[in-house]
């Protein structure tokens, strides 16, 4: 009877692990999402379009960058669609993904972004690097800007009699410490860094979307907009405000209204694929033990609470 009880407990544990794996795959996007309708999923169809899902807050670029490199070096994949449903994330993370998008362009891949429910801040930053941006009319986008936030437990520490001892090599080394308020000098220094990274965001939009922005400015009566006029049009709306997809189209931040399927068919046509395209997804190999031991997804969940860097992020 004792042996039977042990066996039963072992089977229960195994069953729980299997169920948790299934639930994780279902809710994390690990199982490829396939659209219904006109897009043919048959791998023997006219040509291949790679699809990369970019979901949730971004604090790790490894999976997306690796998939972009794989698709970039696959001669059978003629176009890549980025399905973005993200409020953004760490600045460097978004910039690393952008760099891989540029590298894919150098390999003559057609890059198209498809915005889902939200493609704000860093989500927009990534999308604007593609050749063409599709958005739903009700997509939440924009939120162009940079943010850094931290907790200040100074008053709480005083109440419980806790103090932090700091030995530092320079006066700015413990800037943004949770145990004290920042000085005005520290705030000024940090604001300068944020302003510089904000300029990088604006530069990226101007560099990638100048043609579309010129069209919008010309409608206002300016025949040949200069680079500075294009930049001014971006900075006038790049104050962290959000837009619907339809508003973003009016401002020149996106190119077309359309669904994921519209973006796929457009990418296939732009790549010269004849017939219905076959969609290629990069499969994630995630298991319960990897989740516990420190997978990319675990890193992202932990970073959401402990990340202390600058972010292109909406809703912080």
Question: What are the DSSP E strand ranges found in the chain?
Answer: 47-55, 77-86, 88-90, 110-120, 132-135, 140-142, 242-244, 256-257, 277-281, 311-313
Active site residue 214: no
Which two tokens mark 178?
């949770």
Active-site entry in 62, 158, 173, 181: 173
The continuous run of DSSP H or E covering 7 comes out as helix 2-28
Burial class (CB in 10 A: 0-12, 13-18, 19+), 237: middle
Phi and psi torsions of 234, nearest 5°: -75, -50
Active site residue 169: no
Distance CA 64, CA 282 (A): 9
Sign of CA dihedral 240, 315, 116, 245: negative
80-117 per-residue burial string, b: 16 or more CB within 10 A, e: under 16: bbbbbbbbbbbbebbbbbbebbeebbeeebbbbbbbbe
Active-site entry in 61, 86, 114, 121: 121
Active site residues: 121, 173
């Amino acid at each position: 009877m004792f042996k039977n009880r042990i066996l039963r407990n072992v089977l229960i544990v195994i069953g729980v692990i299997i169920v948790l794996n299934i639930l994780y795959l279902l809710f994390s996007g690990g199982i490829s999402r396939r659209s219904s309708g006109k897009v043919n999923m048959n791998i023997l169809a006219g040509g291949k379009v790679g699809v990369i899902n970019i979901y949730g807050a971004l604090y790790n670029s490894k999976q997306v960058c690796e998939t972009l490199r794989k698709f970039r070096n696959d001669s059978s994949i003629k176009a890549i669609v980025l399905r973005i449903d993200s409020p953004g994330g760490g600045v460097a993370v978004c910039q690393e993904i952008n760099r891989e998008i540029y590298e894919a362009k150098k390999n003559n891949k057609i890059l198209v972004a498809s915005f889902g429910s939200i493609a704000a801040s860093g989500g927009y930053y990534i999308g604007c690097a593609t050749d063409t941006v599709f958005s739903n009319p009700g997509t939440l986008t924009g939120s162009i800007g940079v943010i850094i936030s931290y907790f200040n437990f100074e008053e709480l520490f005083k109440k419980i009699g806790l103090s932090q001892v700091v030995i530092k090599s320079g006066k700015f080394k413990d800037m943004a410490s949770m145990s004290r308020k920042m000085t005005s000098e520290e705030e000024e220094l940090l604001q300068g860094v944020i302003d510089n990274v904000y300029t990088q965001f604006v530069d990226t939009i101007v560099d990638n979307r100048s043609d579309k922005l010129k069209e919008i400015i010309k409608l206002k009566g300016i025949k040949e907009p200069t680079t500075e006029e294009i930049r001014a049009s971006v900075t006038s709306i790049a104050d962290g405000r959000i837009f619907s997809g339809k508003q973003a189209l009016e401002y020149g931040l996106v190119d077309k209204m359309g669904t994921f399927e519209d973006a796929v068919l457009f990418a296939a046509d732009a790549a010269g694929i004849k017939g219905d395209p076959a969609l290629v997804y990069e499969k994630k190999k995630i298991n319960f033990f990897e989740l516990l031991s420190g997978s990319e997804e675990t890193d992202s969940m932990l970073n959401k609470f402990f990340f202390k860097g600058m972010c292109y992020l909406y809703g912080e």
